[in-house]
Amino acid sequence: MPPARDIVLLLTHGGDYYTVDRVAQELSRRGASPLRVNTESFPAELSLTTALGPTGEEVVLRMGTGELRGEEVRSVWARRMALPRLDEALERAWRDGCMRESLAAFDCFLAGLEALGCRFINPLVAGQSANNKSRQLRLAHALGLEVPRTLVTNDAARVRAFFEQLEGRMVAKMLTPLSQSMEGGQPFVYTSAMGPEELEELDGLRHSPMVFQERIDKRRELRVVVVGERCFTGAIDASRSVAGQVDWRRASPQECHWEPGELPTEVAVKLERLVAELGLVYGAVDLIVTPEGRHVFLEVNPGGEWGMLEHELGLPIAAALAEALLGEGGAPRYPTWENAWPS
């Protein structure tokens, strides 16, 4: 008799709390067996095996608590991916090689799970492709969402010309996080307003391009969590914060807090379609609501945070994710792991 297929793997890292715990609780309430896997523990503390032979596919995960076979896994939530934690004593050349081999082996493990019919949220290659900010903006515009004028470049002359075109109303931000480390004290670049003085300090573009975007007036900002055909909306108003006017993440908790948000039906439908056309099951969308009431799309993050919306507003996002992980029907296609890990 085949084993019961009730295990849901929760792929994350050792510093991740609340959201992964909430999804685990909701899965347990529905009769599933959630199993957290801290991905940085491979290969030092976890053993993965994949084998393909005349009798078929074999996928095995061995941990300190025992052995898990792929036939027991129903679905996978790729919540957070961490690079393998390797021995610091390894020489650089060996360390780089071990890193590549570890990532390739995890690739084989997940591809094996896909071959056995496991459901993935999100399909990893779709998630990686969806991170392309220009693609997001292009698709959002095609779906009828308003998007800000945007420039991605390392050409200082183009930046200055764009600044003049926008009559000085411009912000700068990164395409990706500066660091994927779980450790504190790493550099982080917030969205920042650009003025004439910043235009004289663009030498850093020869080291790294940046995103330059039209600055949109705000009445409030929305974080919309899309799970399948459901939208959960939180709103925040950082306009009274000097530090947080451009990027609400710089405001102190005393200056602003999350409130229930409203989303017009036509905007919600477009966001649901955007997430679906990007190949995602889940996405966290950032919008600006202008003083006139227009909704301007900024980006969708395939791994964006939502814990604050559930914790502060009681939005049932963990329950929606659990339902999606346990949903019936065919599993989303999982091609390969290539480029899905942070570099």
How does pLDDT run across 294-304, given as a tens digit for each residue? 999 999 999 89
Backbone angles phi, psi at 111, to 5 degrees: -65, -35
Tokens of 55: 């009798």
* Domains in the chain, CATH or no CATH each: 7-124 (3.40.50), 132-146+216-301 (3.30.470.20), 149-215 (3.30.1490.20)
Q: Is the dihedral of CA 319, 16, 256, 150 positive or negative?
A: negative
Helix axes 133-142, 265-277, angle to 10 degrees: 130
Report the predicted TM-score, pTM, of the whole model to 2 decimal places: 0.84
Residue 177: pLDDT above 90?
no
Report residue 57's pLDDT band, with 50, 70 and 90 as the boundaries: confident
Residue 260 to residues 154, 218, 222: CA-CA distances in angstroms?
39, 17, 9
Give 275-278 contacts, CB < 8 A, sequence gap 24+: 275/226, 275/300, 277/139, 277/143, 278/126, 278/129, 278/130, 278/135, 278/136, 278/139, 278/302
Closest residue by Cα to residue 297 from 130, 144, 131, 168: 144
Question: Could you tell me the end-to-end alpha-carbon distance of the chain, in angstroms, rounded to an integer?
Answer: 42
Residue 57 pairs with which residues in a beta bridge? 52
Residue 202, pLDDT score? 80
Q: Compute the average pLDDT of residues 101-118.
A: 90
Q: What is the mean pLDDT of residues 147-153?
A: 93
**Tell me, what DSSP letter sits at residue 4?**
P
List pLDDT tens digits, range 287-325: 999 999 999 999 999 989 999 999 999 999 999 999 999
**From CA 325, how far away is CA 175, in angstroms rounded?**
29
Taking the CB of residue 150, how many other CB atoms lie within 10 A of it? 15
Peptide bond into 122 cis (omega under 30): yes
The pLDDT tens digits of the residues spanning 184-195 come to 334 445 677 877
The conformational region for residue 114 under phi > 0 = left, psi -120 to 50 = alpha, else beta, is alpha
Residue 323 belongs to what H/E stretch?
helix 317-325
Can you tell me the distance from the alpha carbon of 83 to that of 36, in angstroms, rounded to the nearest whole number?
Answer: 16
